[in-house]
């Protein structure tokens, strides 16, 4: 490592200032555990990212516990169900009646704002625009994290490292080849998403399966809508005019929704690829992975942020036991505990993705199976209950 021009010490060094890293640092801080958080990007860049916006009840509870629930509780919208549509005809899945719970619509961008505000209020140590982050000696009792900031080298001596640096971060790569196992499925299509300052077309989300491909009608608040359509991977967002996007969306959603749809100028338009990915184990020595650093889900089940929250919950509880009771059981079982929930959410996200999208290599038989599955879901309370239970979030 280059000669260090800055040395600091903390209990938990956190790499990544997305929702996972911020929430973990906030929860630990409230317990009196010191953290330093390193983020590669500027704060404006992190806050400018448009991500999903469906919170499971467990995530909502955890955010309240972390003291970041007050704006969410005022501005968030409770959804007791969702619509599914088959070939332009919708039906509703009632989460509350079938599974006894609901979800909250609150954008991840807003949530990240609230987390930064809460961290500022407690004068948290957060370093933005760091470069060349290096984890050292994670399998010893004294790990270190080196980084460059504003042209200088720095080193943090710490007791634990939390790798919350997303799919492209450095933390997962620190787990040695031969120890790390990665499981992956890349889907042969993407989602073209549009954000528009228009009232949402529906009181609840609409997940639409259509001959031309999947579509989703979502929202951020009563004046801001988020819509997606499935597109081939080689398409470019810039090739889609707003008019072409709205026309294609109308074709895929229920007829009554298509008639009501209020369109407007897009304020963000981008294509996201779909991927399922899991890294095992989620721990190496004193390095613990949380959130997208360890797993990716396709967005069809709205599980990405919620899985990051459940990882943070398990790690926070484990560190709390370590610092309060000198009991390492939670740390020793973190990886298997977190992965047990991760794999169930991976299963759900993969099932929803397979059910609702058109696959380029689908045979006629595959298509009939998909249609039969959708018809089963439309007609069976048991099938709807299973979807509802998973959508609102399995217990921690
Ligand atoms: N050093 C420091 N920070 C890094 C590094 C690095 N080498 N690499 C990446 N980061 C930062 C990214 O800039 C990003 O801000 O780590 C952060 C990771 O944040 P997210 O990608 O938002 O991941 P996470 O916090 O796990 O949030 C859960 O699941 O499905 C998604 O939309 C959901 O973004 C949400 C995520
Ligand atoms: C979103 O609002 O961006 C959203 C909602 C539900 C999903 C995916 C994305 O399943």
Quote the pLDDT of residue 234.
95
Share in percent of the chain as helix, strand, coil (round to 5): 40, 30, 30
Quote the pLDDT of residue 324.
97
Closest protein CA for atom 6 of ligand 2: 302
Q: How far is the CA of 329 from the centre of ligand 2 (A)?
A: 36
CA dihedral 53, 314, 64, 26 (to 10 degrees): -100
106, 147, 187, 207: the catalytic one is 207
Query: What are the pLDDT tens digits along the chain (396 aa)?
Result: 444 468 999 999 999 999 999 999 999 999 999 999 999 999 999 998 888 889 999 999 999 999 999 999 999 999 999 999 999 999 999 999 999 999 999 999 999 999 999 999 999 999 999 999 999 999 999 999 999 999 999 999 999 999 999 999 999 999 999 999 999 999 999 999 999 999 999 999 999 999 999 999 999 999 999 999 999 999 999 999 999 999 999 999 999 999 999 999 999 999 999 999 999 999 999 999 999 999 999 999 999 999 999 999 999 999 999 999 999 999 999 999 999 999 999 999 999 999 999 999 999 999 999 999 999 999 999 999 999 999 999 999
Domains of the chain plus CATH, in order, are 3-78+104-183+275-351 (3.50.50.60), 187-274+360-392 (3.30.9.10)
Q: Which of 343, 13, 25, 335 is nearest to 175 (CA)?
A: 335
Ligand 2 environment, Cβ below 6 A:
52-54, 205, 216, 218, 226, 299-300, 302
Q: Give the ligand at the shortest distance from the Cα of 208.
A: 2
DSSP symbols for 80-118: SEEEEEETTEEEEEEHHHHHS--EEE--HHHHHHHHHHH
207 assigned to active site? yes
Quote the pLDDT of residue 88.
96
- pTM for the full predicted model: 0.97
Closest protein CA for atom 9 of ligand 2: 52
For residue 396, count other CB atoms closer than 10 A to its CB: 15
Quote the pLDDT of residue 1.
43
SS3 call for 303: coil
Q: How far is the CA of 330 from the centre of ligand 1 (A)?
A: 24
313 assigned to active site? no
299 assigned to active site? yes
Tokens linked to 9: 């010490």
DSSP label at 34?
Answer: -
154, 174, 303, 357: the catalytic one is 303
Mutate to test the pocket of ligand 2, among 95, 108, 217, 299 (most ligand atoms within 8 A of CB): 299
19, 143, 298, 299: the catalytic one is 299
354 assigned to active site? no
- For 303-321, letters b (16+ CB in 10 Å) and e give bbbbbbbbbbbbbbbbbbe
The bridge status of strand 295-296 relative to strand 266-280 is: antiparallel
128 assigned to active site? no
Q: How far is CA 380 from CA 33, 81, 207, 254, 384, in A?
A: 49, 16, 18, 20, 6
Closest protein CA for atom 4 of ligand 2: 52
Report how far residue 16's alpha carbon sits from residue 24's, in angstroms, rounded to the nearest whole number. Answer: 11
Residue 317, Cα to own-chain centre: how many angstroms? 20
Q: Give the ligand at the shortest distance from the Cα of 148.
A: 1
């Amino acid at each position: 490592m280059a000669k260090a021009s800055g040395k600091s010490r903390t209990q938990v060094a956190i790499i990544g200032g997305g929702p996972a890293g911020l929430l973990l640092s906030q929860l630990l801080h409230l317990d009196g555990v010191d953290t330093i958080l390193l983020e590669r990007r500027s704060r404006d860049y992190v806050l400018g990212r448009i991500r999903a916006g469906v919170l499971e009840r467990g995530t909502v509870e955890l955010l309240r516990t972390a003291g970041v629930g007050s704006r969410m509780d005022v501005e968030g919208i409770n959804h007791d169900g969702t619509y599914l549509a088959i070939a332009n005809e919708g039906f509703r899945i009632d989460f509350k009646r079938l599974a006894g719970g609901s979800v909250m619509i609150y954008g991840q961008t807003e949530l990240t704002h609230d987390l930064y505000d809460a961290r500022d209020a407690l004068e948290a140590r957060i370093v933005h625009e760091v470069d060349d982050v290096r984890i050292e000696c994670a399998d010893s009792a004294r790990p270190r994290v080196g980084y460059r900031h504003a042209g200088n080298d720095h080193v943090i001596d710490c007791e634990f490292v939390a790798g919350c640096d997303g799919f492209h971060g450095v933390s997962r790569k620190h787990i040695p080849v031969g120890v790390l196992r990665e499981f992956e499925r890349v889907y042969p299509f993407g989602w073209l998403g549009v954000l528009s300052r228009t009232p949402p077309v529906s009181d609840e989300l609409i997940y639409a399966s259509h001959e031309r491909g999947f579509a989703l009608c979502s929202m951020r608040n009563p004046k801001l809508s988020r819509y997606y359509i499935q597109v081939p991977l080689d398409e470019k967002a810039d090739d889609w005019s707003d008019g072409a996007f709205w026309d294609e969306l109308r074709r895929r959603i229920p007829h009554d929704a298509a008639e009501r749809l209020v369109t407007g100028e897009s304020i963000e338009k981008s294509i996201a690829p779909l991927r399922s990915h899991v890294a095992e184990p989620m721990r190496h020595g004193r390095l613990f992975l949380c959130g997208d650093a360890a797993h990716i889900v396709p967005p069809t089940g709205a599980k990405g942020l919620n899985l990051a929250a459940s990882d943070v919950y398990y790690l926070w509880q484990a560190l709390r036991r370590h610092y309060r009771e000198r009991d390492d059981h939670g740390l020793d079982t973190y990886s298997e505990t977190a992965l047990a929930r991760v794999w169930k959410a991976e299963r759900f996200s993969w099932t929803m993705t397979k059910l609702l999208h058109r696959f380029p290599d689908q045979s006629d038989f595959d298509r009939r199976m998909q249609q039969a599955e959708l018809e089963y879901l439309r007609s069976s309370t048991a099938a709807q209950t299973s979807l509802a239970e998973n959508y609102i979030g399995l217990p921690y």
